[in-house]
Every structure is written in structure tokens, then in C-alpha cells.
């Protein structure tokens, strides 16, 4: 038995990371899964993971509830008038013109002059999301919500003994369409990472299955910017290093990945090989929510900094309301032209998620750093310390329902 485990460790060596990335229990599970595969490849039981992502959720709810908006370019978010707001979600009609979430409303109006702006109705979206959650719970209790409109489901052992993750995904999509008059896209695979990517492949109203035998080739062909967790800055850095696809990432030793990308390098090393042993976590708790922006040129004027802070604060505000969260601690992140970085924060007695409080405190923290004497490359705002709301969340029968659904 010891020799078998040692042999499994030897085979796993290219896929393992330095101690600390996996817990000891997770590590042993991977070892014995590899041992089972060596002894009897046909006996390996893969997890059945579904990632459900609603299609243009906010905008679709608005078009559902207001027939006059159907078929028209729609942006849910702040008005472009005055200093302008930020787009929370755009309908597919607006996306054809390049309108995207987190885009300044003024820019969205320039791209699509006919776009209609609608203020978000978060109470309505939460109610609809609860209906989506109820449909999920017919098939499994292993549900990990990521937001009001997105969740992972583990249906390895489903409640109705259907056995097929693809069939369950079809039934969920059908129920959402018939009962809520909305569409969702689904990704089905053996782990969370691949399932999430799959759900985005055939939107809207899509269903994509990527099986075990197809994962390696799929990951090798995937552009790095499509990797979940790889943002624009990281993707640009990878491309400058000659890393354009998953196959390119696989060619880089783990040590090099960690050297260039820090702790995230370990994750990239594994997912480039289609390895993701993270379990679906029904009790996942959000620790913080934030946003940041790296500017095309260094900011030197306080008015410019205030305008950018307003945009960032509005994005954070939208995300907080999306997740039904309020935070007590507001943190400002500043990166200067010499790449020196500082953070400043202020904690409040009561939790907040409103735009005015967030932007006022962010500007106050900025002023205290004597900003006009420096050149600013990046600004970021984060809210954390969710406090009593998180405590109440843990006491409910469905811990994530208050938080996300």
C-alpha cells in the first residue's frame, strides 16, 4: 500500500504545488484518486458540476416586466446625465454596440445613442433570485451562489436520482424559462473551473458539456484572457511573456509561474492542466467587495481623481447591492507612477452600501495623502467587515440565502 501511494506521489509530482496550497485532506484525496485511476481507470468517479449563469439578468428582468423594453438596447445602471453613472448590466441588444457592465454610462451612450437607461431594482432581482434558488434545490442541496444570478451546483448525488448532470441542467433551464420567463446558460463538467468557462461559451440560453477526455485539449486551446481569474492586466503581462493559450501556460514550470504571478501562479499552473479540486461550498462567505482601475495616463489633478473615484465607488456600490451586503470598513488603494502602493482605511459604526458615503470617505482618505504632489497610476476602493449581517447569515437554515439569494 505504501509503495502504491509513493508511486502515485511520483506520478502526481508535476501537478503538485508547494505545501500550503492544498490542505492535507485535499492532498490525500488527490493522491488516492490517482491511485484508484492507476489500478482501475474505469472505476474513477468524477464529480458532476453545473455552473448556471443567468443571461443579462437585470436587463432581462426589466424586459420581462416591461414589454415596451423588449427587443431594445437597454442598460441597467446610473444615468449618463451630470457626472454620469455606471452600467450594471446591458441587454444583448445593447451589447451588439459594445455596451458592457462596469462601463461609464456616458461611454455607453456614445456607443449606442438609442440605449435606454433604467435604474436597478435590487429588491425585485433578489426576489427572482430566490425563485431560481428554489429550482436549484429541487435537485441538490450543494449550491454555491456566486451572486444573485450565478451559482455552482454539485449534482454527483442528485435528489431525484436522475444521474445525468446534462439532463439536470436541461431541466433547470426549462424550469427557469417556464416559471420565471427568463433564460439561463449552463456549463457542465467535472470541476468548477471548467464548468464556469463552459457556461459562457454559448450564451444566451446555452448548454455546454466538457467531459473528462476533452478537458486537456480544451484547456490547451483556451486563450489566457478566457481563464477565470485572469484580468486584463494579467492577460497583458502573460502575452508580453509569449503566453497566449493554455498550452503556452503548460510549457512554463511551476516555479516560473509562481515567480511571475505570485500565489496565483500556483493556481494557473494547475488549471492550465484542467486540475481544480475545489469543492462546491454551500456556506461560502464573502469577505470583501471592491473595484479598482489602472489609468491610461497618470492622474495629477484632484478633479480628475475625484471623477475616477466616483466611477469606482459606483461600481462598488452596485456590487454591494447586487450581493445584498453592507460593510463597515472602507479601504482606499493608491498606486503611484513609481509603482509604490499604499492603502488607507476608515471604519464606521454602522455598515453602509450607499454611493454618497462610500465616495465621500474615499475622497477624504485620498486628500489625507497629499495627492496633488504625486502622479497616481491606480485607484481602488474596497468595503469589508460585513459584521452583523454575516453573523445573521450563519444562523439561517440557508446560509447563503441572505448573502446572495
Query: What is the spatial distance between Cα 260 and Cα 224, in angstroms, rounded to a whole number?
Result: 15
217 or 287: which leads in pLDDT: 217
Average pLDDT over residues 340-350: 91
Domain boundaries along the sequence of the chain: 1-45, 46-210, 213-275, 288-385
Query: What is the spatial distance between Cα 163 and Cα 362, in angstroms, rounded to a whole number?
Result: 51
pLDDT at 27: 47
Total residues belonging to the chain: 405
Neighbours of 251 (CB within 10 A): 12
Residue 4 confidence (pLDDT) above 50: no
Q: To 5 degrees, how large is the angle CA 143–CA 149–CA 152?
A: 25
pLDDT at 22: 42
Domains 213-275 and 288-385 share a fold: no
CB-based burial, 125-163: b 16+ in 10 Å, e otherwise = bbebbeebbebbeebbebbbbbbbbbbbbbbbebeeeee
pLDDT at 135: 97
Average pLDDT over residues 103-120: 92
Selected catalytic residue, list 62, 93, 144, 150: 150
Q: Which of 18-27, 296-305, 377-386 has the lowest mean pLDDT?
A: 18-27
Instruction: Give yes or no: 150 in active site.
Output: yes
Domain 46-210 listed as CATH 3.30.70.270: yes
One CATH from 3.30.70.360, 3.40.50.2300, 1.10.150.20, 3.40.190.10 for 213-275: 1.10.150.20
Calculate what percentage of the chain has a pLDDT beyond 90. 54
Neighbours of 242 (CB within 10 A): 9
pLDDT band at 152 (very low <50, low <70, confident <90, very high): very high
Digit-coded pLDDT (tens) for 60-97: 999 999 999 999 999 998 888 876 678 889 999 999 99
What is the topology classification, in CATH, of domain 288-385? Dna Ligase; domain 1 (3.30.1490)
Digit-coded pLDDT (tens) for 354-366: 999 999 999 999 9
Amino acid at each position: 500500500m505504501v509503495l502504491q501511494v509513493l508511486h502515485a506521489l511520483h506520478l502526481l509530482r508535476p501537478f503538485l504545488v508547494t505545501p500550503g496550497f492544498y490542505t492535507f485532506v485535499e492532498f490525500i484525496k488527490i493522491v488516492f484518486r490517482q491511485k484508484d485511476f492507476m489500478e482501475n481507470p474505469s472505476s474513477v468517479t468524477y464529480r458532476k458540476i453545473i455552473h448556471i449563469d443567468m443571461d443579462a439578468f437585470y436587463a432581462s428582468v426589466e424586459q420581462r416586466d416591461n414589454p415596451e423594453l423588449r427587443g431594445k438596447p437597454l442598460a441597467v445602471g446610473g444615468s449618463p446625465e451630470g457626472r454620469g453613472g455606471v452600467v450594471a448590466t446591458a441587454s444583448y441588444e445593447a451589447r451588439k454596440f459594445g455596451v458592457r457592465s462596469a462601463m461609464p454610462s456616458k461611454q455607453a451612450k456614445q456607443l449606442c445613442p438609442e440605449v435606454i437607461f433604467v435604474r436597478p431594482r435590487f429588491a425585485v432581482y433578489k426576489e427572482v433570485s430566490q425563485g431560481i434558488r428554489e429550482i436549484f434545490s429541487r435537485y441538490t442541496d450543494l449550491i454555491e451562489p456566486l451572486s444573485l444570478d450565478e451559482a455552482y451546483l454539485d449534482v454527483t448525488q442528485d435528489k431525484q436520482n436522475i444521474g445525468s448532470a446534462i439532463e439536470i441542467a436541461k431541466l433547470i433551464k426549462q424550469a427557469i424559462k417556464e416559471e420565471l420567463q427568463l433564460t439561463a446558460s449552463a456549463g457542465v463538467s467535472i470541476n468548477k473551473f471548467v464548468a464556469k468557462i463552459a457556461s459562457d461559451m454559448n450564451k444566451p440560453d446555452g448548454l455546454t458539456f466538457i467531459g473528462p477526455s476533452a478537458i486537456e485539449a480544451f484547456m490547451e486551446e483556451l486563450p489566457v484572457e478566457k481563464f477565470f481569474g485572469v484580468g486584463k492586466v494579467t492577460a497583458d503581462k502573460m502575452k508580453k511573456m509569449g503566453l497566449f493559450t493554455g498550452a503556452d501556460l503548460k510549457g512554463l514550470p511551476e516555479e516560473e509561474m509562481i515567480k511571475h504571478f505570485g500565489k496565483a501562479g500556483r493556481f494557473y499552473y494547475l488549471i492550465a492542466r484542467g486540475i481544480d479540486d475545489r469543492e462546491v461550498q454551500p456556506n461560502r462567505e464573502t469577505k470583501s467587495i471592491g473595484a479598482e482601475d489602472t489609468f491610461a495616463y497618470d492622474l495629477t489633478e484632484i478633479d480628475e481623481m475625484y471623477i475616477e473615484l466616483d466611477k469606482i465607488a459606483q461600481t462598488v456600490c452596485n456590487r454591494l447591492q447586487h450581493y445584498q451586503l453592507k460593510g463597515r470598513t472602507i479601504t482606499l488603494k493608491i498606486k503611484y507612477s513609481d509603482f509604490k502602493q499604499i492603502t488607507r482605511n476608515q471604519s464606521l459604526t454602522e455598515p453602509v452600501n450607499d454611493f454618497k458615503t462610500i465616495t465621500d470617505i474615499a475622497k477624504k482618505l485620498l486628500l489625507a495623502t497629499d495627492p496633488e504632489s504625486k502622479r497616481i497610476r491606480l485607484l481602488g476602493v474596497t468595503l469589508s467587515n460585513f459584521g452583523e449581517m454575516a453573523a445573521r447569515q450563519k444562523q439561517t437554515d440557508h446560509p447563503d440565502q441572505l448573502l446572495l439569494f
